[in-house]
């Protein structure tokens, strides 16, 4: 028997949403085979990886804490990605957001005010936007490749944070260790679930996703973003201003990443430290695509990706599995997603090739 891929006349809408699910199922199956080969009980390992982390209320709260920056950044990036504007530097914009938010918290150290937290978050948004404005300007003005410029600025941001944290932002009572003092209470995000670390930042991320969704489906800007991504020539013919969209999408995604940075330092971390994020800005790129560049999809994808991190911890704790399992799972998930996406444009046909079905189209893969 032969398995063939036959091109579809039209991209399958159903498959757009089904392929992530297929990818998850395939990842689970491949993961179980891997566990089997490693000599551990596959069911027990999958349980430790995917079920155990969320078997308690605290675990669910931690899952949402971990997903918060991924959702914020992923939703922001997905807007630009739909318009073929590739902001790869969210990690740097996040770092700037953390710096700006942290500077506000430390500048007003011990000041009790309800305005302090909003000021920190707004400062974070501004920081992220400023960092994204550089690639936006270069692309709009000189047509530079924003993939390179935004990525390079990530490394600049790390050095900037490193400079600040070993100097001006350093805790004066901290024996010269590179970290700031702990933020005082009114500079720390309120907890929304008593006894856990789940903070209000998660609601901010959900709100942002809703706003982004409204913009995409209800607002003319969203329409322009989609058109410019799918048919740039048509967009310019229709008189859409491409430069405006470059600025808009980069500033929104940069601002969202900056907000995520400010939320991280004022939420679960509670101080400025030399490395604020374990790569959320890069992981969010996977999250955006896994979520089909759709805000609701990004929320689900962000939670799923967060689960692979938590699962990695608990697999180490309860099963003594190596940390590398986390990376393998994330890699497989992306790999299977890319593979499953083939089903959007092709359908699987079983059976031998029949002569009358041979068409001149060359894109069919056998």
Partner 1 sequence: MKRFNKLASLTAVALATATMAMSGGAQAQSDPLKVGFVYVGPIGDHGWSYEHNQGRLALEKEFGDKVQTTFVEKVPEGADAQRVINQLATSGHDLIFTTSFGYMNPTLRVAKNHPDVHFEHATGFKRDKNVATYSGRFYEGRHVAGLIAGKMTKTNTIGYVASFPIPEVIRGINAVAIAARSVNPDVKIKVVWVSSWFDPGKEADAAKTMIDQGVDIIMQHTDSPAPIQVAESRGVWAVGQASNMSAFGSKAHLTAIIDNWSPYYVARTKAVLDKTWDSTDTWGGFKSGMVQMAPYNEAIPADVVALAETARKGIIDGSVHPFAGPIKDQSGKIVVPAGEVASDGMLLGMDFYVEGVDGKIPN
CB of 312 to partner 1, least distance (A): 9
Q: Give the nearer residue to partner 1 in terms of CB position, either 29 or 182.
A: 182
Bridge-based pairing state of the strands 3-7 and 346-350: antiparallel
Distance between CA atoms of residues 80 and 75, nearest Å: 9
**Angle 139-142-144 from CA coordinates, rounded to 5°:** 50
CB of 306 to partner 1, least distance (A): 11
Q: Give the nearer residue to partner 1 in terms of CB position, either 142 or 175.
A: 175
Cα maximum dimension of the chain: 81
CB of 317 to partner 1, least distance (A): 5
Residues 6 or more apart whose CB falls under 8 angstroms from that of 189 comprise: 117, 199, 200, 201, 263, 266, 267
Q: Give the nearer residue to partner 1 in terms of CB position, either 94 or 103.
A: 94
Q: Give the nearer residue to partner 1 in terms of CB position, either 188 or 212.
A: 188
Q: Give the nearer residue to partner 1 in terms of CB position, either 143 or 176.
A: 176
CB of 174 to partner 1, least distance (A): 8
CB of 70 to partner 1, least distance (A): 12
CB of 313 to partner 1, least distance (A): 5
Q: Give the nearer residue to partner 1 in terms of CB position, either 103 or 227.
A: 103
Q: Give the nearer residue to partner 1 in terms of CB position, either 44 or 84.
A: 44
Distance between CA atoms of residues 77 and 88, nearest Å: 9
Tell me whether residue 165 is exposed, middle or buried, using C-beta atoms within 10 angstroms of its C-beta: 0 to 12, 13 to 18, 19 or more.
buried
**Given the structure tokens 């590398």, which residue do they identify?**
324
**Given the structure tokens 């692979």, which residue do they identify?**
308
Token digits of residue 87: 């902001």
Q: Give the nearer residue to partner 1 in terms of CB position, either 98 or 250.
A: 98
* SS3 category, 205: helix
Site residues, partner 1 (CB under 8 A): 56, 58, 62, 65-66, 162, 166-167, 173, 175-179, 182, 197, 264, 267-271, 273-278, 309-310, 313-314, 316-318, 320, 322-323
* SS3 category, 348: strand
Distances in whole angstroms, Cα of residue 87 to Cα of each of 76, 147, 176, 275: 10, 6, 36, 21
DSSP letter at 50 equals I
**Given the structure tokens 């101080």, which residue do they identify?**
271
CB of 202 to partner 1, least distance (A): 13
> 76, 187, 60, 214: which is closest to 123 by C-alpha?
187
CB of 177 to partner 1, least distance (A): 5
């Amino acid at each position: 028997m032969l398995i063939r891929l036959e091109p579809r006349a039209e991209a399958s809408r159903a498959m757009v949403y089904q392929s992530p699910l297929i990818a998850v199922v395939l990842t689970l199956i491949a993961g179980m085979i891997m566990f089997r080969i490693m000599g551990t009980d596959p069911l027990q390992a999958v349980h430790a990886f995917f079920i155990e982390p969320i078997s308690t209320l605290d675990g669910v709260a931690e899952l949402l804490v971990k997903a918060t920056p991924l959702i914020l950044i992923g939703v922001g990036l997905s807007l630009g990605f739909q318009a073929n504007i590739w902001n790869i530097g969210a990690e740097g914009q996040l770092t700037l957001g953390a710096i700006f938010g942290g500077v506000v918290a430390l500048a007003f150290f011990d000041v009790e005010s309800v305005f302090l937290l909003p000021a920190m978050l707004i400062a974070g948004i501004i920081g992220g936007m400023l960092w994204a404005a550089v690639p936006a300007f270069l692309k709009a003005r000189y047509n530079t490749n924003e993939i390179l410029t935004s990525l390079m600025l990530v490394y600049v941001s790390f050095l900037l944070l490193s400079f600040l944290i070993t100097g001006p932002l350093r805790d004066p009572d901290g024996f010269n260790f590179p970290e700031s003092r702990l933020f005082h209470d009114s500079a720390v995000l309120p907890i929304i679930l008593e006894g856990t670390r789940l903070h209000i930042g998660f609601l901010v991320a959900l709100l942002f996703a809703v706003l982004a969704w409204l913009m995409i489906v209800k607002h003319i800007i969203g329409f322009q973003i989609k058109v410019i991504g799918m048919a740039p020539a048509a967009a310019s013919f229709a008189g859409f201003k491409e430069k405006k969209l470059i600025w808009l999408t980069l500033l929104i995604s940069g601002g969202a990443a900056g907000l995520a940075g400010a939320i991280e330092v004022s939420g679960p971390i509670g101080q400025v430290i030399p490395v604020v994020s374990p790569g959320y800005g890069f992981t969010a790129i996977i999250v955006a695509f896994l979520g089909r560049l759709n805000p609701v999809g990004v929320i689900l994808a962000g939670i799923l990706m967060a689960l692979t991190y938590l699962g990695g911890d608990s697999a180490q704790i309860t099963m003594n599995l190596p940390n590398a399992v986390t990376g393998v799972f994330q890699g497989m998930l992306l790999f299977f997603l890319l593979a499953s996406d083939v089903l959007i444009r092709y359908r699987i046909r079983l059976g031998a090739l029949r002569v009358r079905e041979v068409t001149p189209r060359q894109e069919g893969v056998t």
